[in-house]
Each structure stands twice: as structure tokens, then as C-alpha cells.
Structure 1
Amino acid sequence: MSTMPTRAKAEMAAYGASAAALAYVPSMESLPAHATVAAVSGGCVWWLYRKVKTRDFRRTIRSAQRMLGPVTGGAVYAAAAIVPGRPWWEPVAALGWGAAMSAALPVTRSTWTPPETFTAAYPPGFRGLVMRLWDDAEVAPDTRLENIEQTLSPAHPDFTADVVAAAGRPVPRIDLVAAAAAFGVPVDCVTLDEIPGTGPGRMRLTVAPTTRRSGGSLEDMWAQKVARPGGAIPDSSIVRVEQFPATGDLPARGMILAQVEPGEVARVSHAQLCSAFGVEAEELRLVAESRGREVLVTLYESAPLKASRRATRELLTLDAYGRYTIGTAHDGSDAKVHMQSAAGTLHGFLVGVTGSGKTVCLALMCAAWALAGLATWVTSARPDAQMSAVGRHIDRQNAGPVPTWWMLKAAIALMDIRGEINAERGHDFSAHSPYPGLVLVLDEFNSLVGDDGLGDDIAQMTDVLAREGRKFGIGIVFAGQSLNLAKLGGEASLRDQVQGGIGVVLRIANSSGGIAARQATGGLAGDADLAAIPDRFNASMSLMDRMHGITDDVPGETTQGVGHTVTGSGATMMRSLYVHLPKDGSPDGLPEIFPEDGSINCLTAREIDALTDLGLWHDWTMPPPSGKDNGQDDDGQGAVLGTFAPPPLPNQTRPKATVKDKVLAAVTGQMTAKEIRAQVDAAAGTVRNALSDLVAEGRLHQVDHGVYAPVPASVGTAPQDD
């Protein structure tokens, strides 16, 4: 009794008093006593019934144990009250009930364990299991395990722990056979080492059955399969190994930092690296990033890029370093790209097959340029409904070799026009220039330069813009399923111009990484070894499963948008942001990422007027003039380069009226902006700017938002400065 808790002693006393009451009170026929016992017993039964309905059986059993006394006591009381008189068995039943309840102690038994059956409390999970096995085996009495960490993953039993002795005492000699028996592993899977910087009172225990079964430690595997000559990363060595648990949508991962000797550059074979770690490349679980002589290898428990993130204006807005977020990197961070390279170019490239997410990436880029104040002209080999939707939010968008020829022709003429502005300002293009940056997107570039009639001219003008457009704020972005720059002169120099800008490589045709990636990008990806992107996650089936006849007809999730951002020789695996571009004609999500006020960036009035005077500012659908008609040589150089004063096209009269004059002539009554744009032969952005200028000059009256009318005669008109 001296070791019994006070609560248990109080409960036993209560049972004794209740037993004495049960022996005499039921025969007194006292209605208040009967009602009290009935209420207590009935309440306990009702409470137990509610616990049963919760289906939490563990708590139900514990509640039943605690309610055992009142319920059984009420039954004994009812039996004694129902039988008339005072039979001999009533005191015996009451005393027997009291003795049984005292022996069981139902109320406190669930929270109290007698000292002779006391067991030590261990933390839950793997750590508690390891500590209990160590204590039960008594490998080294008076020692304990601390800092228990699983080394591979939560699914593997490999772990390390610190063996800690009592204060002031060293860790005793530990028999490795006994330690291996404690955890049920082979003896050669257990090692005990000193911990640098600590005394003999703490030792490092390592238990690695999985690693040993696979042929040795991680360092041994790395030396045999990765660092060997001809291996995945020849002549490399491990510098550091880290493990990180799962967080949010990011699965658990292990990371290995390796490096090669000074003076060497790390060469990575992604396919060989996957084979060394026993994973399939199609799983997209292993990512290798190289920077000079260092390589960071990340192995995930599952593919980290299955979830896509919706694009927002905030993500596509430039940060303080001139970058915008185009996707999510494999480690969960933002995949950012620079709008301008370190050299100040706006060039870049985007490569991806049909269905890889290339159009979505182009839409993201156009939105980021629009939010940064840049004007955008987009052309492609053939009309595309999704790019036409993007075209409603940018200055110019068209398809075909003829519009591409006119677009490039106007852009080269624009260099001369902006050259005059630069001379007036005393500097080349910068944030202080009075004209906006201009990005030309050439989608399906191979088809455009392969056109029989205009392909050579398109290639030549593209080459000029790529080399000389920087100081005039004009950039070129090449896009397509693959890029062939052989028709552009001086490919090495062109690569130097483009590589520093934005580079995105999505899934490429027949990709096997390495050389295939360099060929698909026309060398713009440099020496970056890009992991092959399958069309679906886990799309392939193992040969062993095929051998056993196992079939799985459930397709994996699409990898649309999964690819790499490339800068120079560095690449980062990522998944691009998502914006809704429907294929059924339903509303798209583009208004959510382009400027909120719906404004469209376009050229300045001075530039448009100058291009109009040169006969280059129209709908760009008429056939281009022939160089021979202007007395040029057969090579047609004069039609492309030289001084930009081409003769009027046949049956074409140069317009002398400005866009503002056309708008004033079109507005004969109250009209909406849409009705005005339909009657004025000019770009939508140009008409919008002209309307704003005319209202500011007092030459046009704005009745309501988007509604305009002529200025009343009593008000008069301002002098015309145009």
C-alpha cells in the first residue's frame, strides 16, 4: 500500500464505503436513495453508449473500465431493492462487489501502473524502436542512444546514432556481434567510430544494412560506379551529403555535393548517374546540376515536379535584379530568368516539341515583357489559335513568311530611326531612352528560314538584328521544336549574343540528353547536359515486369511544362507556370497575367510616323517588293540592307495623314474605341495612344470610358502639332 498512488487509496476507501451502503440502504425503501443510484448508473450507461457510437474503440474500452464500478454497483443495488425483506445474500453481495472493485481499481487503473510492471517511456516512431532494442539487448549497460538519424530514407533501416555513457565515464568496449544481434543485421553492417572533437564518453554507431547489401558504403559506390574513368562523373569525389525531410508538396530528398580536381571541369552523364543510383530516368527523381568543377546531385523519393503553379502578375513582374519567375524549380524555389543578359541584350531561345508547353511559355514571356514596358512582335510559320489569343494583348502578331519579312524589314529600319534618337540623346538604348524595348519572337524559326522565296532574306535580317539590335533596344527570341542556325552567318558569335539571355528547353524530339540537347538548340544551350524529359511521368515499364507479364495500362501524368532554364553552361530543371489557354474557344486566362489596365505597349508616334513614311507600317500582308525592281544585284541585298528608302509599292500611294488625322476623320459621332480601331488602318496600340493624345490635346472629347466624340464647335480645337 505504501507504493500505491493516493488516487488508488482514495478509490479503495470509496468502494468500502459504497459496499457498506449497499448492504443496508436498498432495504430502507427510500425513494431519494433509489433515484440517486438510478441517475448515477443510468448516466454512466448513457455516457458509455455515446463512446461506443464514436467507434474509437481504444477510448471506449478505457471508458468502460472507468464506468465499471458505478454500473455494477447500480445492478447490485437494484437487485437488493427489488427483493423484499433483507435476505442473507444482500450483505454478502455488497461485500463481494467492494472486494472485486478494490482489486480491479477500474477508475485509476487506466492511468496508473504498479511499480513492478513499470517500463521506460520511449519516443514514438523509428527513434523509440531503436532505443528500446538497444536497452533490451543490454549491449552496453549504463549507456543510451542520442541523435538517431535515418541515413537513406524513412523506408530504409539504415541509421546513425551517438552512444553516450554516464557523466564522467567512457563508453565501454562494445562487441559488434552483440550490437548487430540487437538490431537483427549482419555484423559487417555495424561500425563504431570516434566522433571528432568529443571525448571517450561519446561514440558514433552506424548501422547500414541496405548500403552494405548494395555493395558497400555510399563512398564505395561512388568510387566504383560514378567516379571511375568513363563513369557518370569521372574523377569526382564526395564533399558533403545532406538529407532533408518532406515539406509540403516537396518529397524527401538526399543531396550529394561532389567536385573534381582543380583545373578540371565536371562532366555529367545523367543516364549513367541514374543507373548508378538504381533509378529510372523517366521517373525524373534524380537531378544533377553542374557549376564548373562542382556537381550537386539530388535524389528525391518521388518526382518533385508533378504539381504546377498558376501564373500571376506578381510572379511575372521584374524583381530588383531584372528577373521574373517563369516556373518552379525542382527544389521548390522560384525558377527565375533575366529579361536582359549581362551584356544588355534582350535575346533568348525557347525549344520544345508540340505538347511540351511551348505556347504557354511564350505567353508567360510576352506577359512579363508587357509588365516591364516592352513592346512585342510575334510571328510564326503558320496561324495558331492560342498565339492569336496572345496577339490580342501585344502590339503585333501574325503568321507566315510574308508578315515575318515585313516585320524584320521594319525592325531593321527601326534601328536607323532609333539611331537618330540615340544621337540626339547621346547614349544607346537604356532605361532613360524615350522609346520602349522591342522583342521579336520568331516561332517555328526553322520553317521560316526554310521558305523557298523569303527564307534567305529572313535569315539575313535575323542575323543583323541579333548582332546589332542591342544598342537599339531590339531583341530576338528564337522558338521552335528545334533550332537550326546554320543559315545565320558566324554561328559562334551569334551563340555568344544569345546564350546570356533567357533560355528554356522543354521536352525535345528523340531526346537522350547531352548531344541531342545541343543539337536541338542549335548550340545555344552550350555544353549543358540536360536530362531527357519523357512525355509522362513514370511512362515506361521495367523489363522485369514485362518479362513476368505484368501490364499497367494507366498512363502517367503529363510532363507538359517540365524542362530546364539555361544560362550559359548552367541548367536548372523546372516546371513552367500555368496559364489557361483553352483549345475549345472558351475564355482564356491571359487577362490575369497581362497589365491589369489592358494597356498595350507599342512604338512611339515618332517611330510609327517614320516607318509610315518609309512604307513599312501597314498590315504586313502584301507581297514584299523585289530587290531587282530597285536596280539591285541578283543577290537581293538591297531589298534587305542599305539605306531604308524603298520606292512605293505598285498601285500604292504613301499615306501622308498621321494616325491622329485618321482617328479624327473616323470619329464623326459618338463612337467606341473598338469602332474607331475598325475604321483606322493602324495597330491597336497605336490607335489607343492616338486617342489618349487627342483627348489630352483637347481635339477629341471622351464621353465615357472607351467612348469618344468630336469636340463641340464652341470649344474649338487645339493647334495641330503633328
Structure 2
Amino acid sequence: MRARWITTPITAAGLTTAAALMPPAASLGAGALGGIALWAAANSAPEKKIGRWRVALPLAGATALEAVTAFADPGLPTMLPAAAAWCGGTILLWPRRPKRSTTAPASTAPAETPVRVPQTFEAFLVSLWEEHIGVSIAPGTRLANIDHKGGTAFSAIIVGPAGQPVPKIDLRELAAALGVGQECLKLRPISGASPNLVRLICGPPAAQPTTLEEMWQLQAAGANGPAPNTIILDHKATDAGVRLMLERTDSEPISINTRRLATRLDVDDPTRIVVEADLTRAVVSLYDTHPLESVREATIEDLTVADDGTIAIGVAHDGTVIRIPLIDPTGGALHSFAAGCTGSGKSVLAYLVIAAERLSGIVSWVGDCQGGTSLPEVEGLVDRYATGVEGVVAMLLDLRQELRWRTAVMAQMKLGNIADAAIPPFPYLSVSIDEFNMIGRHPDQKIRNLAREIVEDVVSIGRKVGIGFRILGQSLLLKDLLDSNLIREQGRTGFAILLRVMSEMTKRKSLEGFVEDPSLVSNIRRDLGGTTIDDVFYGREKARISSAGMGYALSDNRAVLMRVFHTTAKRARALLSHGYTPVLGERPYPVTTVEALRTLLAPKGTAAARGDKAEEAKFAEDLHGEPLDQPETAGDDGRSIADAIVAVLAEEGEPMRRKDLIAAVASLLDCNHGSVDNGLKMLVDEGRLIKPGRGMYALPN
């Protein structure tokens, strides 16, 4: 304001002086204009008066000076004092600028809601949750205990509605509201806290993996991943894919879920991922396409037994040849097991093994429980061929006679194992039973019990006398027919192959005892590279590649993905026909027919009702090698088998398992197991023994 009091008079004086020096006519014109300006300034709006006064006053002053000079002597000395006097008056008359009002002018515009601008990240998050997330995404919730870790990273606790758990929150919607990637968000329950509280963790944006090791850690090796707490020790590329050597980083056994791993790695067929593991390390093979889409046919050379007793039966996923043992050159015969559903390739496997036995001079007995429809090509090319459940059980009765006869011969020769003989006293005998599970489903319990008794005896002691037993069935779930531990123990000495089965549960149960972790093994699909879910939805047709013959060779607690050599029925018969048919020749026991089996298992009184006890006893002696009433015959110590059973149970003082009781009595009296078993049944029927549990026997008191 003070600057205006100085500069304004100077400006006015200059203008006045200039006006005074004008010619009279010009001064009069300026005066007229000054009067008009004074009138306009007086009637102007307040905010315009100051500017107009600045122009009007000098012009009006020029008119006044012109009037003064009319009476005075014109000249510069007269004009200057007049100009000075005018300037002084101008200062006094200079209008004042109106004072600014400290009150804001009233506004007619509608009032606006003030916008709250949070000053901190925590305040912003709380505001966002209250106004949006807690209303539409997680209704009724609020955020507490926010811990900002920098950038968009934070942790907090979501508090649910009073007395209610935190509602289910869609991470996709929550990520969109927070403006972060969905993979950055995690919801975790709070240990020991109410479901009303849930921890929210928002991590920094995940960096994209640039190496194979980083990809594995991100996709698979997390605590909840398909291969938790594992690292890649080494890797190598192959023509078919890549192989990884993994190791578990903590003290737990390695565990890899192939189905979940296939999902994480976007692999459409889990069997393209092959896992072989020991306790803490594993080799994972990732194939671009299925490695076993096709295999070659078997040759005579493949099926010829090598010096180590093995034959080539198929190809592993990595191209190596799979060899399985037929005999143990140092331990005798071997027992083996193969399981697979209809169409899985069991029959082809059986044909190849039987052809190898013919080439090697091993006598083959074959039982087809399905009435001759499973292995029809072997009829006439093996020493013994039985069809139907009853026909197979009749053959098993003769197998028991063969077992006892061989045991007696080797005892006379003081030979502990057939493998120890320079010249074996008899050829190796291999018995294959296809669709073995059908025996367990037979309606006659006597059939089931008899088959179980014989097979357990053969599997337990057959190896040392040169008798091997091979079971082929829908699964290895044989607990109703055989002791599961016995199956697995003997399967480890021979071979066990699991082909495609009907369900994940059947696969898992069949693998128990053969591999440490059944989850490492994927069930085989019926078709390879076949119809996908997209094809089903859109109705697209694709060529199907059968997986018949594909399965796992089980050995050393490992499951190796493999495929049996391809063959056709014509080719199988050609392989079976090669060479000659090894036979046992004449045996010191009669061949049991189905009719003889039915007579044996007929209800009591069939022969006894005619009072022909001698005939019944004679038939039983021919069939079993001992009379029916042998349980009451005396042992070397003068006691009957029944008395010995009672004495052993009394001495034990508690219930005994059937297997242990039979072994104890047979050892005490030097008698066979079948006689003791008959004695047990008789004592139970008479009420002198009770069965407190499955397979358990005890005295009534």
C-alpha cells in the first residue's frame, strides 16, 4: 500500500505537467475528457473506481491550470508551482481501496462432501476396507493389527462379524481391490485362535523364475507343493525330455505327488512324469510325449534264460530292457505276482513267461479260473492245463501231492535245496493261476479254504523243492486267500508287476509293501495321448493308443515304469510252440479230477451214509496221501494230533494264530500241516476249541 502512495502522485504529476504544456485547445479538450472521466469514476463499481480516478484527476488538473494561466503571465515558473499544488491536492483526494473482507462471500453452489485423504498406508488400508472390501468382498469384516512391510507388502488380521467366522473370501476379487497380483495374497488360520480371526499376508510381487531351480522352487518345492522341501541336485536334457535329480532338504522321507506335479507343470498325462525314489532322493523324468507309446516284439533271444536266471520281458521308460527272474540259480524256484484289469496285458505277459519256461526246460502247469477264456493259446503246449475254479483247485490238490513227494525224495537224498544238486532229481515246476481272485469269490467256502491252505504251503516251502507259484489277478488284494505279508515277502524274491488297475485305491493297496510311497506311482490310463476333457466337451475324435502291457516292475522298494514286449495271439502261439513241452512224466499219485474233488468236498455222510468207512478213507488217502481219520492217529510220543493241539494251547495259555499252532503241532509230532488242520476243524466241530477271532484258536476255558 505504501508503494502506491509514492508511485501514484509521481504518475499524476507527470500527467498534469504534460497536460499543462499542451496548447490551449488541446488542454481544453483534455479537460473535457477529464470531466467525463470524473463523472464515470464517481459512478463506477467499487473495484473499478481506483483505475478510473488515476486517469480522470490528471486530465481535470490540466483544465484547471489552463484557466489559471488566463489571468497570469504564461511561463514556466507559473506552471510549475501550480503543478506542484495540484499534485498535493491529488494525494489528499486520492481514493482509498476498500478493505478486503475476512469473511468468505456466500456461495449459492451446493456444499460438497469433503474427501478424506489418508496420511499413512495403514489409514489408507483401513479406509479401503471399510468403504469397499468390508462391504462387498468380505461383508461385516474389518482389518486390525496392520504391519506395513514396505511397498504393497503387509500383514494384518481380518476380524469377522461378532460371533461368526470370517466369511469365505475370493482372493481374485481381493487382489483386484488391493491392486496386487493374486499370487501375492495368502490367507492363513491363526494357531489356537478363533475362526473369527484370519491372518492376511500380502507379499511383494513374485519375480518370474529365470532358472530351472527357481521354477522348481516356485511350482513344486513349497511346503504345500507336490514335492515339498526338495531341491534340484542335478539335471540333464535328453532327446525325450529332461531328468531331475532331487533331494529332500529336511529329515523326512521324500514325497512326490505325481498328479499334483502334473497339474503344476501343466502336463496333461501324469504318466509322462516318472518318479523313481529311495528314502531321501529321487529321479524325476519329464517327457515331452509318452516314452512307451510303442515297443518292439519279443524274440527267442529275449525269452532265453540267462546265466543269472533272468529273461527280458519288456522295456523301461528310459529305454533300458526290463529283465525278470524265472529261477534263482542259488536259491531254487521263485514265486511271482502280476496284477491288472481286463485288457491291461496280463495274458500277453503270461504267454511270454510260459514260452520262456518251455525254452528253458521248466515244466509249466497253467490254471485258467475264467473257464479257458484267459489263456486259451497254452492248451496242449504245457504239461497241465486246468480251467474253471474247480478244475484249478483239483490241480492244486495234485500240486500238494507233488510238493510232499518232492520233499520226501529230497529228505532221503539229504538235499536241502534243489539248487544245491549237481543234477536236480526232478525238473523245476512253475504253476501259473490266471484270474486267481475268482477263487476268493467262489460261493463254496470249502473250495476257498482248501485253495488257501494249499497255496500257502506251496508259497512257504515250494522254492527249495523246485516249485514256483505265479498268481495273476485283477489286483494284489488277496487277503481273503493269502497272507498279505507272505505275498509281499515272496514277491520280492521273484518278480511283481502291476499293470493298469481299475481304481486309484486298488493301485494304492496293491503297492503297499512293495514301494515306500504309493503316491509316487501314477495309475496307467487305458489310452495314451487319447481323448482329453476338451475333446469330450467339443466332441472331437482322436486316435487312441492302447496302454496294454504298460505297468510297473516292482523291486527293491521301487516301481519302474515299463511296458511288456508286444505280441499277437498268432505270434504268442509261435513262441509257445518253439522247442518242446517239458513234462513231469509218471508220478506216484493219481491225477485228481473235478468229480473226485466234488466227492471229497461233499457234505458228510455221502460215503459214510452207506456205512462204507473204508471206501471213504481209501479215497482220502489217495487224494491227500493220508486217511481222513489221521487226526486221531498217534505221533511218535504216543499222543494223537487232537491231544497235541490241546496240549500246545494249554501250554501257551492264550489264543494262537492258526499258522503258528499248526507249525507247533506239526513240529511236535513230525506230521504234515494238513493233518493238523483237519484236527483243528474236528475239535471246533466238537466244541473242544473256540475261535475268538479270525484265524485264531483257543481252549473254551
Q: TM-score range by the shorter chain?
A: 0.5 to 0.7
* Structure 1 segment 111-510 matched on structure 2, within 5 A: 215-245=209-239, 252-261=240-249, 264-281=252-269, 284-340=271-327, 344-385=332-373, 387-427=375-415, 428-430=417-419, 432=421, 433-453=424-444, 454-488=447-481, 490-510=483-503
1:639: Cα distance to partner?
A: 6.8
Q: Which runs of 5+ in 2 are unaligned?
A: 1-205, 629-701
> How many angstroms does 1:415 deviate by?
1.5
The aligned counterpart of 1:164 is none
Three-state SS of the structure 2 residue aligned to 1:448 is helix
Amino acid of the residue matched to residue 429 of structure 1?
Answer: I
Q: Deviations over 1:117-164 (max 9, x none)?
A: xxxxxxxxxxxxxxxxxxxxxxxxxxxxxxxxxxxxxxxxxxxxxxxx
- Secondary structure in structure 1 of the residue aligned to 2:348: helix
SS at match of 1:353: coil
Higher Cα Rg: structure 1 or 2? 2
The answer on 1:570 being equivalent to 2:551 is: no
* SS across alignment from 1:389: helix
Question: How much does 1:306 deviate?
Answer: 1.2
- Corresponding residue SS for 1:571: strand
> 1: distance between equivalents of 2:209 and 2:389?
60
Aligned counterpart, 1:169: none
Alignment length (residue pairs)? 407
Alpha-carbon deviations, 1:630-681, whole Å to 9, x = none? 999xxx9x9799962368xxxxxxxxxxxxxxxxxxxxxxxxxxxxxxxxxx
1:439 match: secondary structure: strand
User: Gaps (5+ residues) in structure 1?
Assistant: 1-211, 246-251, 582-587, 648-722
1:645 paired with 2:632, answer no
8 Å contact 1:304–1:330 — kept in the other structure? yes
Report SS of the residue matched to 1:383: coil
Q: Is the 8 A contact 2:337 2:497 kept in 1?
A: yes
How far is 1:527 from its partner?
A: 4.2
How far, CA to CA, are the matches of 1:368 and 1:592 in structure 2? 12
The answer to whether the 8 Å contact 1:445/1:478 transfers is yes
The whole-number CA distance in structure 2 between the counterparts of 1:259 and 1:385 is: 48
Q: Distance in 2 between matches of 1:506 and 1:417?
A: 36
Distance in structure 2 (CA, Å) of the matches to 1:494 and 1:444: 16
Evaluate the alpha carbon distance shift between residue 640 and residue 315 of structure 1 in structure 2; reply closer, same or farther with a 3 A threshold: farther
Contact 1:236 1:261 in 2 (8 A): yes
Q: Distance in 2 between matches of 1:426 and 1:535?
A: 52
Q: Say if 1:326 and 1:337, in contact at 8 Å, map to a contact too.
A: yes
Change (3 A) 1:621 1:391: farther
Question: Residue 619 of structure 1: CA displacement?
Answer: 7.7
* Cross-structure match for 1:590: 572
Q: Which residue of 1 aligns with 2:509?
A: 519
User: Does the residue aligned with 2:236 lie in a helix, a strand or coil?
Assistant: strand
User: 1:595 deviation in Å?
Assistant: 6.2
Shift of residue 576, structure 1, vs aligned partner: 0.7
Cα distance between partner residues in 1 of 2:331 and 2:222: 39
Q: Is the 8 A contact 1:503 1:565 kept in 2?
A: yes
How far did 1:319 drift? 2.1
TM-score scaled by length of structure 1? 0.52
**Contact (CA 8 Å) 1:485, 1:522: kept in 2 or not?**
no
Residues 444/290 of structure 1: CA separation in 2 closer, same or farther (3 Å cut): same
CA RMSD of aligned residues (A): 3.3
Of 380-389 and 478-487, more deviation after overlay is shown by: 380-389
Question: Match for 1:625: what amino acid?
Answer: L
Residue-by-residue CA offset, 1:19-62 (whole Å, 9 max, x unaligned):
xxxxxxxxxxxxxxxxxxxxxxxxxxxxxxxxxxxxxxxxxxxx
Aligned runs of 1:17-32 on 2, under 5 Å? none
Distance 1:449 1:503 in 2: 20
- Equivalent-residue separation in structure 1 for 2:331 and 2:218 (angstroms): 43
Residue identity in the other structure for 1:421: V
Contact 1:351 1:508 in 2 (8 A): yes
Matched, 1:625 2:615: no
Which TM-score applies when normalising by structure 2? Answer: 0.53
Question: Any conservation in 2 of the 1:353–1:506 contact (CA below 8 Å)?
Answer: yes
Are 1:626 and 1:639, in contact at CA under 8 Å, matched by a contact in 2?
no
Rounded to whole Å, the distance in 2 between the matches of 1:392 and 1:642 is 25
SS state at 2:600 partner: coil
In the aligned structure 2, how far is the partner of 1:542 from the partner of 1:619?
A: 50
Shift of 1:224: 2.9
Distance 1:332 1:345 in 2: 29
- The match for 1:71 is none
- 1:256-291: CA deviation from partner (whole Å, max 9, x where unpaired): 111225864322211122223221125x32211113
State the alpha-carbon separation in 2 of the partners of residues 366 and 525 from structure 1. 27
Give the aligned partner of residue 584 of structure 2. Answer: 603
More deviation, 350-359/319-328: 319-328
Q: Partner residue of 1:658? A: none
Which whole-Å CA distance do the structure 1 matches of 2:403 and 2:437 have between them? 25
What's the CA shift string for 1:211-268, capped at 9, x where partnerless? x9964422122223322234323222211111123xxxxxx22111112258643222
Question: What fraction of aligned residue pairs are identical, expressed as a percent?
Answer: 24
Residue in 1 aligned with 2:156? none
Contact 1:436 1:473 in 2 (8 A): yes
Amino acid at match of 1:322: G
C-alpha contact (below 8 Å) 1:518/1:526 kept by paired residues:
no
Q: Partners in 1 of 2:450 and 2:304 — Cα distance?
A: 35
